[in-house]
A and B are shown apart, each in its own frame.
Chain A
Amino acid sequence: MIKSRLNIRMSGLGGQGAVTAAHVMAMAASRDGKFAISNPFFGAEKRMAPAESYCRIGVKRIWDRGELVYPDVIEVFHPQVITLGKSYTMPFYSGIKEGGVVVINSDMPLLTKEDQKILNDLNVAVFYIAGTQVALEVAGTELSTNMTMIGSVAGITKCVSLEGLDGALQERFGKKFVASGGTATLDEAIRKKFAKKEMLLKKNLDTVIRAYEMAGEWAAKNNIELAVAAA
């Protein structure tokens, strides 16, 4: 299904980078020439407490903002969103649109038969990715888990390009100092100073790309078609 707007709800836990993920997605979409809006919702800023963020991407000016009640895509950043109900609503998939996609960061299935049936009836596909393991493997830190969530939704829907994401990550974490692809010509002192940051950017992008490929393969294999119209 090609949509004029894709609504993405990211349900995570405090400290996982769900807020950053939505902003990076929106920044990437904006760089790609699409319209985008992103915003977070959270209570007290506390680790492991439920936190949500929302990213809307489309081909026309977007006014809608705030909690996304009727998403096309839901991303679950942590199994506890489902297993402990650390979601803004129960069940975590409430409001999902027909033909939508759920992405879950888990190395094992988490849905009950009942939940699976409801999602099947709505023609909602579920993609499991062991995002935390992927982040540890590729970036060497579980802090990059949010990059696997970004990569997953981008890989399935192609709503943002990898170039857009690369640029957005630099804008968010590297400012003008670092650019992947060796385009940055920084003098020795600055390179020394920002060597760590440069590495962080590269590894995060690598994590995005790994998840993008995994999710893309899954989508192709399962004939999942959910995309935003071209800008």
Chain B
Amino acid sequence: MATQSSVGEKNKAGQTITDPWQMMHDAERTPCFFTGSEVIKEALRRANCDIMIAYPITPQSEAAALAGELFAEGFIGDYFRGESEFAVMSQCAGAAFGGARVFTTTAGPGTMRAMENFPMWAGARLPIQMIVTCRGINSPLSIQPDTLEISYLLNTGMLVWHAETAQDFYDWILKGYMVSEEPDVHLPLALCCDGFFVTHTKDMVSLTPADMCLPPYDPYRSPVPCMDMECPPVRMMRDPFIMKSNYISYATHASWQQEVWAAVERSRKHTVRWLDGLIEVENPGAEILLVSSGTAVSQGREAKVLLEEEGIDVGIVKIKSLRPWPGEEIREATKNAKHIIVPEFNVTGWMAREIKATIPNSERVYAGPRVCGGMTLPPEIIAADIKTLLGIKNKALAGRGS
């Protein structure tokens, strides 16, 4: 993977640098019953990371604090707390410009506060990995899960993945670096999960050996030079194009933006290889398909079981990567579906909109059920909505508080 292979050597923490494909696919796995936060720590332990910059915000605070313990144990090169999320993400940029493998975590209002940095990261081609443990971003204040913030990340030029389970999270943190550090990609990754549903939930996860780690980041595989005031990717620091308003300046920005999005496209082949496809389909022949990402998929899987007990056949399409967007795969998976149900944990239904814009005959899409503001989406509600859609009578469901 690196310009000069370091596989077989030891890192500073005494771990053996291992071929990433072998580490993720062939190495023996140990099952552990862990929270998502603990899983982030364990993945980071094996990521050969140079720096982690932290700022506390629920529900990622625990993971950020556990990363501090890892630093104390010698598994991360450097670790400190920034002054705000904006500061943290700017400091992440500085570290990545300097040639470091960078890791950070944030959530909800923190993501929003730092937003200016994300297109900057992408434009500067910094392969930073940011864990986003989604929570509400509205006022009144909420700390509970809500995926609205993901929709804001979709057009930043970052790669955006949405993990369903702690196992996804563990594997994808490590695989994420492999995709985003490819020379023809070299983009930041927002690795999202639903806060609390993943971070604070204890679940069974299989871990790779703790004495194996990824090869270190090789900054010379960057498609743009490391930070240098004389030759930034575009001359951002001195003599910036913003000072000029002419055709050359517009053309520079336009071509560079196109290049960033071309890099997102080029990540597709690597993502397919590492994540074993951008989507995962279960029971593809079903006329009713539940299509979504994250915890909404988990709730859909439970609804599928409930409906099967009543003789209703349902399939599942789990979308793993949102950027790059699996348009072709979704068209293929849904081509025979009569009803496409899109459960979501946000008020606007951005996922349903993305799917409607992707497939022919988009009236097949049922944009719901949706919950927001921290509500849970019980499988019973998904099942009830599907039955209503099919014209089948439902027994009244007692809601909490009803």
B63: shortest Cβ distance to chain A, in Å?
15
Interface residue tally for chain B (C-beta within 8 Å): 29
Closest chain B residue, CB of each to CB of A24: B202
Q: Is A142 an interface residue (CB 8 A)?
A: no
Assess the B376–A66 pair: CB atoms within 8 A.
Answer: yes
Q: Which of A23, A26, A88 contacts B400 (CB 8 A)?
A: A88
B204 proximity list for chain A (CB < 8 A): 30, 35
Assess the A66–B401 pair: CB atoms within 8 A.
Answer: no
Assess the B299–A39 pair: CB atoms within 8 A.
Answer: no
Q: Is A65 an interface residue (CB 8 A)?
A: yes
Assess the A69–B202 pair: CB atoms within 8 A.
Answer: no
Q: Which of A36, A43, A94 contacts B402 (CB 8 A)?
A: A94
Q: Is A173 an interface residue (CB 8 A)?
A: no
Assess the B302–A63 pair: CB atoms within 8 A.
Answer: yes
A173: shortest Cβ distance to chain B, in Å?
15
Assess the B202–A94 pair: CB atoms within 8 A.
Answer: no
B42: shortest Cβ distance to chain A, in Å?
16
| Per-position 1/0 for A50-84, Cβ under 8 A of B | 00000000000001111111100000000000000
Q: Which of B196, B374, B375 contacts A39 (CB 8 A)?
A: B196
Assess the B143–A43 pair: CB atoms within 8 A.
Answer: yes
B33 proximity list for chain A (CB < 8 A): 26-27, 30, 36
A95 proximity list for chain B (CB < 8 A): 398-400
B295: shortest Cβ distance to chain A, in Å?
6
Given A66-B196, A70-B380: A37 in contact with B202 (beta carbons within 8 A): yes
Assess the A67–B376 pair: CB atoms within 8 A.
Answer: yes
CA distance A44 to B374 in the complex (A): 13
Q: Is B144 an interface residue (CB 8 A)?
A: yes
Q: Which of B196, B197, B299, B401 contacts A94 (CB 8 A)?
A: B401
Q: Is A12 an interface residue (CB 8 A)?
A: no
B398 proximity list for chain A (CB < 8 A): 70, 94-95
Chain A, interface residues (CB within 8 Å), range: 20 to 34
Q: Which of A37, A44, A89 contacts B201 (CB 8 A)?
A: A37
| Per-position 1/0 for A13-42, Cβ under 8 A of B | 000000000010011001000011111110
B384: shortest Cβ distance to chain A, in Å?
12
Assess the A65–B197 pair: CB atoms within 8 A.
Answer: yes
A18: shortest Cβ distance to chain B, in Å?
13
Given A63-B299, A69-B380, A94-B398: A38 in contact with B202 (beta carbons within 8 A): yes
Assess the A63–B301 pair: CB atoms within 8 A.
Answer: yes
Assess the B399–A65 pair: CB atoms within 8 A.
Answer: no
Given A37-B202, A38-B201: A66 in contact with B380 (beta carbons within 8 A): no
CA distance A1 to B375 in the complex (A): 30
The winner among B143, B200, B398, B400 for most chain A CB atoms within 10 A is B400
| Per-position 1/0 for A130-165, Cβ under 8 A of B | 000000000000000000000000000000000000
B145 proximity list for chain A (CB < 8 A): 66
A99: shortest Cβ distance to chain B, in Å?
15
B377 proximity list for chain A (CB < 8 A): 66
CA distance A43 to B144 in the complex (A): 8
Q: Which of B200, B202, B302, B375 contacts A64 (CB 8 A)?
A: B302
Q: Is A90 an interface residue (CB 8 A)?
A: yes
B302 proximity list for chain A (CB < 8 A): 63-64
CA distance A65 to B204 in the complex (A): 13
Closest chain A residue, CB of each to CB of B58: A45
CA distance A43 to B135 in the complex (A): 12
Given A37-B203, A41-B144: A64 in contact with B379 (beta carbons within 8 A): yes
| Per-position 1/0 for B365-402, Cβ under 8 A of A | 00000000011111110000000000000000011111
Assess the A63–B399 pair: CB atoms within 8 A.
Answer: no
CA distance A38 to B298 in the complex (A): 14
Assess the B202–A66 pair: CB atoms within 8 A.
Answer: no
Q: Which of B196, B298, B376 contacts A69 (CB 8 A)?
A: B376
Closest chain B residue, CB of each to CB of A40: B200
B200 proximity list for chain A (CB < 8 A): 39-40
CA distance A88 to B399 in the complex (A): 12
A44: shortest Cβ distance to chain B, in Å?
8
CA distance A69 to B401 in the complex (A): 10
Closest chain A residue, CB of each to CB of B199: A39
Assess the A64–B196 pair: CB atoms within 8 A.
Answer: no
Assess the A89–B202 pair: CB atoms within 8 A.
Answer: no
The winner among A35, A39, A70 for most chain B CB atoms within 10 A is A39
Q: Which of A23, A30, A68, A89 contacts B401 (CB 8 A)?
A: A89
B374 proximity list for chain A (CB < 8 A): 41
A27 proximity list for chain B (CB < 8 A): 33, 202
Closest chain A residue, CB of each to CB of B299: A64
| Per-position 1/0 for B102-133, Cβ under 8 A of A | 00000000000000000000000000000000
A39 proximity list for chain B (CB < 8 A): 196-197, 200-202
Closest chain A residue, CB of each to CB of B144: A41
Closest chain B residue, CB of each to CB of A30: B33
A75: shortest Cβ distance to chain B, in Å?
16
A43 proximity list for chain B (CB < 8 A): 143
B375: shortest Cβ distance to chain A, in Å?
7
Measured CB to CB, the residues of B under 8 A from A are: 33, 35, 143-145, 196-197, 200-204, 295, 298-299, 301-302, 374-380, 398-402
Please provide the 10 A-B residue pairs with the shortest distance between their CB atoms, ordered closest to farther: A66-B376, A67-B376, A39-B201, A63-B298, A89-B400, A89-B401, A63-B301, A64-B302, A69-B378, A30-B33
Measured CB to CB, the residues of A under 8 A from B are: 23, 26-27, 30, 35-41, 43-44, 63-70, 88-90, 94-95
16 contacts between A and B (CB under 8 A): A23-B35, A23-B202, A26-B202, A27-B202, A36-B33, A37-B201, A37-B203, A38-B202, A39-B200, A43-B143, A63-B299, A65-B299, A66-B145, A67-B375, A67-B376, A89-B400
